[in-house]
């Protein structure tokens, strides 16, 4: 079972969706999904040094009460999945290109999912600036990557063509929001689905694959 997941590292619903997805995978030991995390930039125009979060959010969402309500909902849902959202610790909205480059670098060492999770945890639970080079190198080393190699990859923008190509492919596929999950290149679902829904999708995709095998 091949699963491509498009998400952004500053998307709270992507973080919640990843945690629920991981919990669902743990309930289906009979499958061996091959998961690839694909890049998607929600705010590509944010400068490389990032912007003040309060100013950014005020420009994007004038209804403060609605924003607080959204945060409260995410905190409640996150707690049920083992996530402690700390929006109060986040000072900046980063440009996420570097974080996606690091995730692409980690894929070459089989640590893509681990780095993805560590980056999102650092942002949403620790308030780290995940657009900062030094912060990303620190996170990479915590997961087991060489700090020197991670730094060089980010400075030299290794894999940037692949990241850009993946983002363009998302546009071709008509993906306008994340998280989006594509199973075996054929079946797509979006949003931070419940664990049970993810589990049922795994079963259905496996059944479809088995039926195709019998038919052939």
Q: DSSP states of 25-59 as a string?
A: HHT-TT---EEEEEE--S-TTS-TT-EEHHHHHHH
How high is the pLDDT of residue 215?
A: 53
Contact status, residue 179 vs residue 192, Cβ threshold 8 Å: yes
Cis before 179? omega within 30:
yes
pLDDT (mean) for 179-205: 97
Which CATH number fits the domain that encloses residue 81? 3.40.30.10
pLDDT tier at 62, thresholds 50, 70, 90 = confident
CA angle centred on 192, ends 103 and 78, rounded to 5° = 90
Q: Given a cut of 80, is residue 213 above it in pLDDT?
A: no
The range of the structural domain enclosing residue 154 comes to 2-215
137 CB-near residues (< 8 Å, 6+ apart)? 147, 150, 151, 154
Number of domains in the chain: 1
* 3-state DSSP assignment of residue 187: strand
Tell me the C-alpha distance between 102 and 62, whole Å: 33
What does pLDDT average to over the chain? 95
Q: DSSP states of 59-85 as a string?
A: HH---HHHHHHHHHHHHHHHHHTT---
- pLDDT tens, residue by residue, 141-187: 999 999 999 999 999 999 999 999 999 999 999 999 999 999 999 99
Tell me the C-alpha distance between 28 and 38, whole Å: 23
List the single range of 56-70, 102-116, 135-149, 181-195 with lowest mean pLDDT. Answer: 56-70
Tell me the C-alpha distance between 149 and 155, whole Å: 10
How high is the pLDDT of residue 65?
A: 86
Q: Given a cut of 50, is residue 216 above it in pLDDT?
A: no
Whole-model pTM: value is: 0.95
* 3-state DSSP assignment of residue 211: helix
Q: Given a cut of 80, is residue 58 above it in pLDDT?
A: yes
């Amino acid at each position: 079972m091949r699963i491509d997941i498009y998400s952004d590292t500053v998307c709270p619903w992507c973080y919640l969706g990843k945690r629920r997805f991981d919990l669902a995978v743990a309930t289906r030991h009979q499958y061996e999904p091959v998961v690839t995390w694909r890049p998607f930039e929600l705010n590509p125009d944010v400068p490389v040094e990032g912007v003040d979060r309060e100013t950014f959010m005020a420009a994007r969402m004038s209804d403060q009460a609605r924003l607080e309500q959204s945060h409260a909902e995410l905190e409640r849902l996150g707690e049920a999945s083992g996530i402690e959202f700390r929006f109060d610790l986040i000072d900046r909205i980063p440009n996420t290109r570097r974080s996606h480059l690091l995730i692409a670098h980690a894929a070459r060492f089989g640590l893509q999912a681990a780095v993805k999770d560590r980056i999102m945890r650092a942002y949403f639970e620790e308030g780290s600036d995940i657009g900062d080079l030094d912060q990303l190198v620190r996170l990479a080393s915590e997961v087991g990557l060489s700090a020197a190699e991670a730094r060089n990859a980010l400075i030299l923008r290794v894999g940037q063509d692949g990241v850009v190509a993946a983002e363009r492919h998302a546009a071709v596929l008509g993906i306008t929001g994340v998280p989006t999950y594509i199973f075996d290149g054929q079946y797509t679902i979006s949003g931070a689905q419940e664990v049970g829904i993810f589990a049922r999708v795994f079963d259905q995709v496996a059944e479809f694959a088995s039926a195709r095998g019998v038919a052939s």
